[in-house]
Each structure stands twice: as structure tokens, then as C-alpha cells.
Amino acid sequence: MSTPLKLHEDRLFPAEPGIRALACELYADVADLPIISPHGHTDPAWFAHDEPFGNATELLLHPDHYVFRMLYSQGIALEDLGIGGGGADPRAAWRIFAENYHLFRATPSRMWLDWVFAEAFGIEVRLDAGTADLYFDTITEKLQQDDFRPRALFDRYGIEVLATTESPLDPLDHHRAIRGSGWGGRVITAYRPDPVVDPEFEGFADNLRAFGDLTGEDTLSWPGYLAAHRQRREYFAAMGATSTDHGHPTAATANLSDADAAALFERVKHGGASAADAELFRAQMLTEMAAMSVDDGLVMQIHPGSFRNHNHQLFAGFGRDMGADIPTRTDYVQALKPLLDRFGNEVGLSIILFTLDESAYARELAPLAGHYPCLKLGPAWWFHDSPEGMRRFRQMTTETAGFYNTVGFNDDTRAFLSIPARHDVARRVDCGFLAQLVAEHRIEDWEAAEVARDLAYTLAKRAYRL
Amino acid sequence: MSTPLKLHEDRLFPAEPGIRALACELYADVADLPIISPHGHTDPAWFAHDEPFGNATELLLHPDHYVFRMLYSQGIALEDLGIGGGGADPRAAWRIFAENYHLFRATPSRMWLDWVFAEAFGIEVRLDAGTADLYFDTITEKLQQDDFRPRALFDRYGIEVLATTESPLDPLDHHRAIRGSGWGGRVITAYRPDPVVDPEFEGFADNLRAFGDLTGEDTLSWPGYLAAHRQRREYFAAMGATSTDHGHPTAATANLSDADAAALFERVKHGGASAADAELFRAQMLTEMAAMSVDDGLVMQIHPGSFRNHNHQLFAGFGRDMGADIPTRTDYVQALKPLLDRFGNEVGLSIILFTLDESAYARELAPLAGHYPCLKLGPAWWFHDSPEGMRRFRQMTTETAGFYNTVGFNDDTRAFLSIPARHDVARRVDCGFLAQLVAEHRIEDWEAAEVARDLAYTLAKRAYRL
Amino acid sequence: MSTPLKLHEDRLFPAEPGIRALACELYADVADLPIISPHGHTDPAWFAHDEPFGNATELLLHPDHYVFRMLYSQGIALEDLGIGGGGADPRAAWRIFAENYHLFRATPSRMWLDWVFAEAFGIEVRLDAGTADLYFDTITEKLQQDDFRPRALFDRYGIEVLATTESPLDPLDHHRAIRGSGWGGRVITAYRPDPVVDPEFEGFADNLRAFGDLTGEDTLSWPGYLAAHRQRREYFAAMGATSTDHGHPTAATANLSDADAAALFERVKHGGASAADAELFRAQMLTEMAAMSVDDGLVMQIHPGSFRNHNHQLFAGFGRDMGADIPTRTDYVQALKPLLDRFGNEVGLSIILFTLDESAYARELAPLAGHYPCLKLGPAWWFHDSPEGMRRFRQMTTETAGFYNTVGFNDDTRAFLSIPARHDVARRVDCGFLAQLVAEHRIEDWEAAEVARDLAYTLAKRAYRL
């Protein structure tokens, strides 16, 4: 007995009829705006080669740590899902997922996936044990069709621009191929230097050497190391990049003298740095990156506060990105001060701050962004990229930072097929929030309409200089 | 001029008529489910002896620190309430309470008490100065009737199972008496070893000696001490226990070598441990308790983050549990790592985490429970066991941990008469939350109905292995 | 094309019609109650001299750091607004403000200003680039009329009492003048000793000397310094003060022996104190101030947790209060313990706690205020003095502290013209909150009406002993 799958047209709007009517009206005006995806983790190879995606499990289950972390939390072995090699049958893995789909009730994964099932694949029954095979077969078959290839989906989805994220060590071959292909889709890169900036990153010392090989700079000297960054940033910009991205454990910044910075670099460059030196080096590098951004105009994104690979057994067995990154309390006020003391009043500099610690929204982030010209607030991130999370973001930042110190939506995803679903959730939640403001006579309806378009489209373009 | 007391049948449901109708429907289906009370602080002597309770003041005022802390905060002396001996007239104390009942507006105490007044005692006017004596007399009289004895109330309340909480030093005579009495009520114990685990607990060194006397183990040696725990856990399990409970100032865990743990035990066992050693010993003991749980299957509960006896004058004069325990900021991500590094992936282990620091819900607890197989989230606790507190719990945990990494409701109370009121509040608030999800088309109505039953009944049974 | 400006009579009430109707009814009863303004930063010179205010820019833009911080955050130079001298044309500055008024959508500044525009000045079109001159001219003209002078506005606004805030070094000439003027308005002072209590305050050592000159006490000795405080407190009380106010970076308190306190004073009195000594001195002084309050009955206000002058370039160029104060995480449980250990149970002592860290509301502040007789909670403060901020305050404090451990509303403002707007927002939001409680059958309608009046009027009078 399968149950029907149908996305309700009023989903995510507040239930009170007056507010809902306002939300619907606001949403109608932004629902079909092009998608600006200024930060995410899709694979540029998809768009370079335009090969068909694999089967349902490879596409929707294996790469999605939101999904398999929930299954794992309920005692399902990753091996049984075919994660980490092992060779579990994709159909068997899919069945496990289907049988446990109730675990996702009221999670954003459920909303995104249902959209993919219904809208992208046209499936009309809900996923459960009884429909697992139907799903697996339908999805896997459709993926072989030309109109499910990456470029076709990109075009069908109305994506105006899509940014991927690469390491400085990446040769950007795929991006070069995309640009040389004659295809009109705008896929750009972003500069994410963690592998050569974080002394605790796996293989840091080797990465530094590779950084030198790639750039021809003496990356084992402090000036050469900085020069290599400048060179790669320039190359990334030539491959379309308008931003950098920094995924640090904390938001710490530092402003050492050049001599102290050089001495610190000497201590960390061979690997095995002390925790304090590693933290200080990352901190100093945020300020160095800001200095370069003042020069080259790349927008800086800081994504701090994730305790990566918290589950050490899983990390040993399966590596990074296994759903075991856990947010931590994150300070911004003390942490950012060294950088802000130096560059906080640079009107040309733009730094977009993210957080996994919602207690910082109203206390620290909105007051900082509502004052410093260089600071803007990124949208609700990761675990908070959800209807309740987005509402809290607006409720806790708007009164101090306004709408215009925020930057629209990031889908921040590798799950390419769900990108429209994610933007749609953000647009619906924002329209619901604005509708409530109108209903409570806190803004006018025409203002809400203007803000709705700004949040859905304009602000992201402007903030990321796209 | 007394005002009528009438519990509205729609109380606590969202006011929007569409959501309310959905909530009513969901609630109708769970309102009369049996009560699972897997964690609380009722006195097993009540059920062993089945003696009548005393008067209104002794039953409802003296043991309820929620109630007298509020009166105290407004300048009413505890002595005037007859707390801490002193011998104030119970009726006079009750009158003070009645005159100040307005202080409790919009607090959960008020809701619980009104339920007890209206439903348990059938009183039809509100408590105030003018009705104080009517209340005192009505309640005190009824308490002498057979149908107000503990076992009769237990049966009338539809309690399927009720757990109390005892120290390892407790001989469990009452529990043995209950089990031998022929009465069908299921009252079980839970293992709360703080008095012999926390070096800062009053009389710790004496407690260790008593622990040895009781078990015949050499509890002044590390191996003997651990063996004593194992023995008592086994005995508690034989008296029905399915869980342990740990009320530590922080969630710190440690994973020392056996030699280091033994050396630490030597330093703390005679009392007078340094604060750092006391903290480390508690931390190590959480990991030891987890090890034992892996073996014996007892579910672990961790209730951290209360600064006990914050008011030192009150503690000196009146002792523990005087309403002066204050929550503190509580970290889980770093704190639990040593334990999780060792046992985090044990599918057979079950640890239920509680918090008094709501900022950890979305940031730390939901991400942890949404990943680690051994972790589940306990319900909103203590000061947060309230309509707003429960809503925040669901709003901040569901999107990341789902419903199925939570464990249903705990009443956690000593106020036996209000147990149904507390479960009723939880059921109403959860149904209201689910109704909103349905109204916003985030889950289907039939899913909400299933989840409502799980939250009200099934999850608690399953999580506590009842 | 200008758009009409009209304040909706239902603004800020919840949109659900049933709740809104209840809110309207509650509000109708409190809308016109006199204003109690027990804490704020208006200038007593206004009421002493009763001179007309200047032009629109001087009155509404220059002193309002909420306003110009938002403009600054979007890259507008303070110089262009005429802030910090520089001599920008007031009309040109106003035009910049008008062109950027959309930045304030959904902020409290927008609500307060629109009230001032519509209600105080009778303007009927919205502020934007096209109406900038109309606004500037209308406001500037009206300010020259007699009925826009400070005393006339005070009377028209129905202010029953208004407290300003002065340093102990202030001779209180204006207050003396007001009292001697024959005008009936009750304008009182409050004792804010930060300049002579905080060793990190600009000019601290000089301030101590001036403190001695003013009082005739030997303020470079510990006993003389304390005696000077006692003397000034007495004088402030004679000028109407019923409260003191303490704006410290943290809520730390200390309880040193007299010898240790005296030794600490020796270390800090010449300026250049270490950060630790400065913090300890402030901490000790909170306890000393509490001791004096036990004696003289002045209510203590503690406003902790602002990182002042975070933007050091701006501080160097423009000085204090430039919109660059940023909230920080604030602990209360450990911080207040030394003071509470000594005075926590003094029924005659009253300490009103504020926070910029909302995570402390439910976790620390409500539990503390719901227990200690000397503690009460101040209203949502500064960045949180806004509809969402006030709702969160009630949602997170009421269930544990009740309404009667809170103190009504503070406008805390220097923006005199907006004082009625601010009280009106608080009254509307509180009525909306109460209406929801009634609609959810958590309190009765007649209780809500009583509480609404208490929150709007009675509690502030009582808490501040006015």
C-alpha cells in the first residue's frame, strides 16, 4: 500500500490564512527567479564531461552525509550502505534507506529529497519499503537519459551562476574545460586554501611542497608562500572565482608583525605544529587573506566552528566528511578583532561570516555586521539550513543588521539535483517571514516584495560580485 | 469573590483554528495512552507501604522546590512555609502560598497544580487568598480516603511503569517490598551513583566505606570499587532497573589508563580532593559506567550542568534541593569525546543526554545524537520542562536529530500527584508541534499521528528498554 | 512619488485574528497609562534650560548610534553625516539618511522613527530620497515652536517620571536647576560610577582626583574612596536618584577582605592597572556598591557584557559611543556568586540584572531571579529592545521567573522624542504575548489584564522604588 507523494503548493508558509495569502503573493513573484549559487561543493567534472550520473544510491545516498549520518545514528552500518567501498549492492543499500525513510520526518533532507523525487524524477508515491525498488529503477533509468545529464539539469534548473570550491592545489582543469567547451553555463570556482593554510590538515607539509611545484614559488619561505597564494588567487579569479572560503575550527584571527609571522611559518611548515601554533597560523592567514582581498577584490567567506572528524574510529576507517563534524561554541567578538583592527573599515573589503552557533546571531554577528563596513552575514548554514533554522536566522539578525547586511542564500551543497529545492525552501521561508512582518504592520507590502526579490536574487549577486 | 477553575480542553494547543483542529485530532488519539515514567524521583516507600499522604502543605508545597523557590524569590521566608523544620502551621503556610499564587502565572507549576486541584481533587474555584482554607480542607480530607492512597492513584492514573532513582547505598527495601506485595503496579529503581562517584558529594569518603560494607568489596581499592559498582548494578537490575543516572556538574568524560585511574582513585578516596581531581574522577567514572553498560545493558542517563546549592547560606541552613540549583553553560562536544572515542560506535550502548543549556540543542546535541549510534536526546529538562521549553526543544533538535533520536517524555518529578498533568502537557505540546508541521505541509497527517504515539508512549519504552 | 506614512493601529499584534482581538483589548487598557522611565540617557540640561532642539539632523541622526551604525555598516562615512565634527551640511547629511532609509526595514529604529515622524511631527508621507527635504524642513521648523520644547514634550508625552544617568563627578547642576524651577516634571538622576570605578575608563586616575576635589574625601585611600561614594550617593538620592547603574564588561563580582581590597585599590589607583586587576577591582566594587545599597536603599542595576569601542580606528578618530560596542558572551552564575554569597538573601536589597547575551535568559537569569530575593530581571536591552527581542525575553524568562521577578520596561534612550514610541512597542509586544497565553488557555483573560497593567506601569514603579 503505497501513499501518494505530492508537494503541496503552500508548503512552508505560515498556516494563519492572512499571513499565508501574503506569503503566497510574495513567493509568486520570486519563485521563478534564476538561481544564484555563489557557494557550494558540486564537482566541476560533471559540467566538464557532462557524463550521466550513476544509479540512485551513488547519486543520492553515498555523497550525502546528512542522509547517511541519520541512518548511522540509528545503528545502520555504513558498510551496509556501500559507503567506504566494501561493495554493498546499491539496490540493497537503497532498500535500507527506503525502509528507514521515516527517520527523516521533519528534517530538511526529507524536503529536499521529496522535491528531487517528485519534481526531478516525477515519482508519485512516497518512498518506503514497498516502493524502494520502484524508486531505484525509476531514478537509475532516468539518469541515463540525456535530459538528466549535468548540463541539461543546470539549464533546466535556471541556474544563472554556480560556484564550486577548489583547493589551491587543484589545477582547475575541469573549469578550464568548461570555459573552453562552448557551453553557455556559468560555472566558476572559489579559492579554498585550507589544505595549505591549516597546519593540521592531512598532508599539510606535502601540500606546501606541491604548492611550490605548482607555482614555481619557494613555498617553504614566508614571502614565497604568500606569493604563491597571490599567484593562485589570480589564476582562480581568471577561472571565474569571485570569492575565497576558509573553513577553520574557530574564527580566530591574528595580526603578527612580518617577522613574527615568518618565524611562525618556520615552526609550522614541516608539519607536526603544536595546537597553539597551528591555531595562530590559521589566525594569521585569515588576516593575510584579507590583505590580499583588499588588493584583488575577492570576497572572503569564513566558515568557522566545526569540530571536524569528531568520531575518530570512523575517521580512521572512512576518512573525512562522514557526517561526524560537530559544531562548537564559536566566539567572533574577540576572535575577529585583530583582523578588524587592521581592515575593519576598508569599504572595498567584503567578508561574509557564517556560524554553526546560533547563540552568536543576535549577540555577536548581527551587531558586528550592523557596524563594520567590511562584514556581511552569510545565511543559516549546514545544520541550520532548514525552515526552523532560517526563521531563527531572520528573527535573530534582522532587527540589528537589517536585511541589507545579509547576502541571500547559499545552497552550499554537493547534492546537485536538490539545488532548486534548497533555494525554493529559502525563498518560501523568507517570504513567510516577510509576510508575517507585513501582517504585523512592521513593513509595508511593497517593501516586502522588494526585499523578497533582494533576498532571492539581488543580494547574492551583489555580495559575491557576480 | 472566588473565580472558577476549569481546565480548558484546548489548552496549550496553538490558537490558529486550522492548526488547533489538527492538534485536537492528534491529541485525541494519545491522550489516554498509558503513562511510561522512565525517570523520576518519587519515593518507593509510598508504594511499599501505601499509607495516605499527609496534608495539602506537606504534599504539595514542602517537597516542591519549583514552588517554594518562587515564593522565596519574592522575599517569603522558608521558615514561614514550614520548610526546614521550624514547625510553621501547615494551614498558615498554605495561606501564604494561596495569597501569592499569582506569582505562578504562565509557569508550568501553575498548570500542573491547577490540574491536580481540578482533576485529582475536583476543586472548582481558583486558588487565592479567599479560597485558601477551602483548598486546604478539601485536599487534606480527600487524602485520607482510600482512593487517594499511592497505589490507588497509580492505578487510576494509568501508569504502566514508574522508575524511581536510588543511590547504590540504598538497600532497596521498599522496592523489594513492592515486588513481594502482590500488587500489580510496576515500580522500578534506577542506579544513581553520585554519592559514591562524586568526590565533592557530602560524605563521599564515608559513602565509600558504606559501599564496601554493603557489597563486601574492598571499595578503597580501585578494582574493588569497580567490582562494587558491578555488583550493585546487578542488584538494581534485579529490582527492575533498566537505567543508570548521573548528575554531574559538567558532561566531562575521561579515558585514563587503568594505572592512571587507579592513582586518581587513591587521591580522591579519602575526601578533600582538589577540584580538578574531583572533576577528572567524575569524568573517568562516566566512561567506566559506559563500559559497564556495554556489559550489562543498563541505559545511561547523563544530567549535567547544574550548579548545585548555589546559595551557600541556604545550603548551610537547609541543605540540598532548596531551589538554589542554577544551570550553567555546558559543553558536550569536547566533554564527551573521550567516552565517545572509546564507546561511541557501540550499537548496544545507549546514552541519553540531557541539558539545561538550550544553546546546545541545535549546536551540539542534535548533531551528536544525529550521528553517534549510542546517543539519544532526553526531553526538555527541569526549568525547560514547560510549554515554551518543549517547543524550543522540538524546534531546535528535530531538523537535525529527527524524532527517533529522542526518547519521549520524562516527568522527572517527586510530585507524584502531578505526573499525569506533566505527561499531558508534553502530549499537548508535541501534538501542537506536529499539527503545525502538518499545517505547513512539512509532514503528512498520518505521519504525525504515528509520531504522536511514538512520542507519547513507544519511544520511552524502547529507549529505556522497558 | 511619495508613499503614505500611516501607523497601523494593530501594529505588532499577532496576526491570528483571535489572538489579535485579545491583544487589542488588553492594549486598550494600558495604551494611555503614564510613562515610567526609570533608566535612560536623556540630557537633564534639556529640562533645566528648556531650549528648543536644533534641526532634524542634530536631533535625530547625530546622537542615535543605532541609526548611524547601520549607515556606516553600508559604507557611508561618518564625516558625510556630520558626525565627529567636520561640518557636513545638516541637510546633506539628512538626505543621505533619507536615501538609505530602506536599510532600516524591520528594525526597531524604523518603528521608533516612523512614530516620531507621524505622531510627533504629523508627517504623512514616508521618508525617502524624494521626501528628504520636506522632512528636514518640517522637523526643523516645528522644533522652533514652543510646544516642541523639552518640557512641553515631557508633559504632552504623559511622562510621570524620567531618570537620567550621571557620573559621580557630575555636579548635578541641571537637576538642581530643574528642582528649583517650579516646573512640575519629575526628572531624577541615577548614580553611574563607572568613571571612578573602572580602572580602564578613560582618565580614571584623574577622575579619582576630581572625585576627591568634589567630595573633600581622600579618594586616594581606600576608606576615603568608599566614603566619597557614600557621600555622592547621598547627594544623588537628594537629587531624586533611587538607583545606581553599573556598565561593566562582565558581571564579575568579588568579595575580598578589606585588607586585600585596600591593597588592590593601591595597585589600580594611579592608572595603568593590569587587565586582571582592573577586572577584580570592578568586581569588588559591585559588591561594595551592594553593601552601600543595603544601607541607603538605592536599587542597583548591572548592565554587563558590552565590549566597548570594539573598532579601535573609530575610537581613535571619534571617541566613545560610535555604534561600535559589541555584546559578548556573559556568565552570571559564577560571576555573581561572591556578591550573592554575601548579600543574596537580603530582602531589602534589589539588584536588576540586564544582559546582551540572550542565551543566559532561560539558562541563568530566570533561574537566578526565580530564587534569590535580591534579584530581578531588567527588560530586553539595547540590541534586544525590539519586538522579536522582547518576545524572546518573555518566552525564555516567564516560565521560570514569572512576571513578578521582572521590572517592566526601560527605554534606556537618549532619543527623547521616541520615548513614547518605545514604551508603546513594549506595551504592544507584551499584550501580544499575554494574548497568546490567553488564547492557549494558559492564563485567564482577567489575569492577563492585570499583568498587562503591571508590566506597563506598576512593576517599574515598584522595582525602582518610585
A440 reaches C (C-beta below 8 A): yes
Cα pseudo-dihedral C175, C179, C181, C185, rounded to 10: 90
Cβ-based contacts of C19 with chain A (< 8 Å): none
Tell me, yes or no, whether C29 lies in a domain.
Answer: no
Residue A388 belongs to domain spanning: 149-463
C453 reaches B (C-beta below 8 A): no
pLDDT score recorded for residue A240: 97
C-alpha B244/C-alpha C82 separation (Å) is 66
C-alpha B251/C-alpha B331 separation (Å) is 7
B401 reaches A (C-beta below 8 A): yes
pLDDT score recorded for residue C136: 98
Question: Of C88, C112, C147, at which residue does a domain stop?
Answer: C147
Question: Which of C341, C359, C370 lies nearest to residue B73, judging by beta carbons?
Answer: C370
Tell me, yes or no, whether C21 lies in a domain.
Answer: no
pLDDT tens string, chain A, 466 residues long: the values are 689 999 999 999 999 999 999 999 999 999 999 999 999 999 999 999 999 999 999 999 999 999 999 999 999 999 999 998 767 899 999 999 999 999 999 999 999 999 999 999 999 999 999 999 999 999 999 999 999 999 999 999 999 999 999 999 999 999 999 999 999 999 999 999 999 999 999 999 999 999 999 999 999 999 999 999 999 999 999 999 999 999 999 999 999 999 999 999 999 999 999 999 999 999 999 999 999 999 999 999 999 999 999 999 999 999 999 999 999 999 999 999 999 999 999 989 999 999 999 999 999 999 999 999 999 999 999 999 999 999 999 999 999 999 999 999 999 999 999 999 999 999 999 999 999 999 999 999 999 999 999 999 999 999 999 9
DSSP one-letter code for C163: E
What is the chain A residue with the closest CA to C16? Answer: A16
C-alpha B196/C-alpha B164 separation (Å) is 18
* Cα of B159 to nearest chain A Cα, Å: 28
Q: Centre a 10 Å sphere on the Cβ of residue C86 and count the other Cβ atoms it contains.
A: 12
C-alpha A92/C-alpha A82 separation (Å) is 9
Tell me, yes or no, whether C42 lies in a domain.
Answer: no
Tell me, yes or no, whether C414 lies in a domain.
Answer: yes
Q: Are B280 and B427 in a shared domain?
A: yes
Q: Are B374 and B455 in a shared domain?
A: yes
Q: Are A255 and A319 in a shared domain?
A: yes
Report in angstroms the alpha-carbon separations of B277 from A119, B142, B267, C290. 59, 51, 8, 35
Amino acid (1-letter code) at residue C213: D
In contact, A30 and A36? CB cutoff 8 Å: no
Q: Are C194 and C232 in a shared domain?
A: yes
Question: Cell triple for residue C466?
Answer: 518610585
Q: Which chains touch A (3 or more CB pairs under 8 A)?
A: B, C
Q: Are A74 and A205 in a shared domain?
A: no
**Is there a contact between A15 and B439 if contact means CB atoms under 8 Å apart?**
yes
Q: Which residues make Cβ contacts (< 8 Å) with residue A234, sequence separation at least 6?
A: A296
Residue spans of alpha helices (H) in B10-130: 17-30, 44-49, 56, 65-73, 90-99, 108-115
Cα pseudo-dihedral A254, A259, A263, A264, rounded to 10: 10
Region B194-202 average pLDDT: 97
pLDDT score recorded for residue C410: 96
C358 reaches A (C-beta below 8 A): yes
Q: How many domains does chain C have?
A: 2
Residue spans of alpha helices (H) in C4-52: 17-30, 44-49
Tell me, yes or no, whether C427 lies in a domain.
Answer: yes
Cβ-based contacts of B399 with chain A (< 8 Å): 106-108, 383, 386-389
Question: Which of B371, B404, B440 lies nearest to residue A311, judging by beta carbons?
Answer: B371
Q: Which chains touch B (3 or more CB pairs under 8 A)?
A: A, C
**Is there a contact between B371 and A323 if contact means CB atoms under 8 Å apart?**
yes
Tell me, yes or no, whether B1 lies in a domain.
Answer: no
**Is there a contact between B371 and A69 if contact means CB atoms under 8 Å apart?**
yes
| C88 has a pLDDT exceeding 90 | no
Of the candidates C10, C3, C7, the one whose C-alpha atom is nearest the C-alpha of residue C117 is C7
DSSP one-letter code for A267: H
**Is there a contact between A326 and B441 if contact means CB atoms under 8 Å apart?**
no
Angle, CA of A144, A149 and A153, to the nearest 5°: 130
Q: Measured on CA atoms in the order C278, C283, C286, C290, is the torsion positive or negative?
A: negative
Q: Are C218 and C98 in a shared domain?
A: no
Cβ-based contacts of C323 with chain A (< 8 Å): 371
- Give the CATH number, domain containing residue C115: 1.10.2020.10
- Give the CATH number, domain containing residue A193: 3.20.20.140
pLDDT score recorded for residue A85: 73
Q: Are B255 and B163 in a shared domain?
A: yes
| B356 has a pLDDT exceeding 80 | yes
Q: Are C130 and C230 in a shared domain?
A: no
Question: Of A147, A163, A195, at which residue does a domain stop?
Answer: A147
Classify residue A133 as left (phi > 0), alpha (psi -120 to 50) or beta: alpha
**Is there a contact between C440 and B13 if contact means CB atoms under 8 Å apart?**
yes
Q: Are C367 and C454 in a shared domain?
A: yes
Tell me, yes or no, whether B28 lies in a domain.
Answer: no
Q: Are A234 and A336 in a shared domain?
A: yes
In contact, B420 and B413? CB cutoff 8 Å: no
Of the candidates B62, B113, B41, the one whose C-alpha atom is nearest the C-alpha of residue B381 is B41
Q: Which residues make Cβ contacts (< 8 Å) with residue A12, sequence separation at least 6?
A: A387, A425, A428, A429, A432, B440, B441, B442
Amino acid (1-letter code) at residue B307: F
Cα pseudo-dihedral B18, B22, B25, B27, rounded to 10: -120
Q: Are B211 and B298 in a shared domain?
A: yes
C-alpha C75/C-alpha C83 separation (Å) is 14
Region B80-91 average pLDDT: 88
Of the candidates B80, B68, B79, B59, the one whose C-alpha atom is nearest the C-alpha of residue B138 is B59
Q: Which residues make Cβ contacts (< 8 Å) with residue B358, sequence separation at least 6?
A: B384, B389, B392, B393, B396, C359, C362, C363
Per-residue pLDDT tens digits for C403-440:
999 999 999 999 999 999 999 999 999 999 999 999 99
pLDDT score recorded for residue C1: 66
In contact, B191 and B236? CB cutoff 8 Å: yes
At B272, is the secondary structure helix, strand, or coil?
coil
C-alpha C140/C-alpha C55 separation (Å) is 4
* Cα of C438 to nearest chain A Cα, Å: 18
Question: Of A129, A147, A165, at which residue does a domain stop?
Answer: A147
Q: Are C68 and C133 in a shared domain?
A: yes
B366 reaches A (C-beta below 8 A): yes
Q: Which chains touch C (3 or more CB pairs under 8 A)?
A: A, B
Tell me, yes or no, whether B11 lies in a domain.
Answer: no
Per-residue pLDDT tens digits for B126-169:
999 999 999 999 999 999 999 999 999 999 999 999 999 999 99
**Is there a contact between A440 and C11 if contact means CB atoms under 8 Å apart?**
yes
In contact, A422 and A385? CB cutoff 8 Å: yes
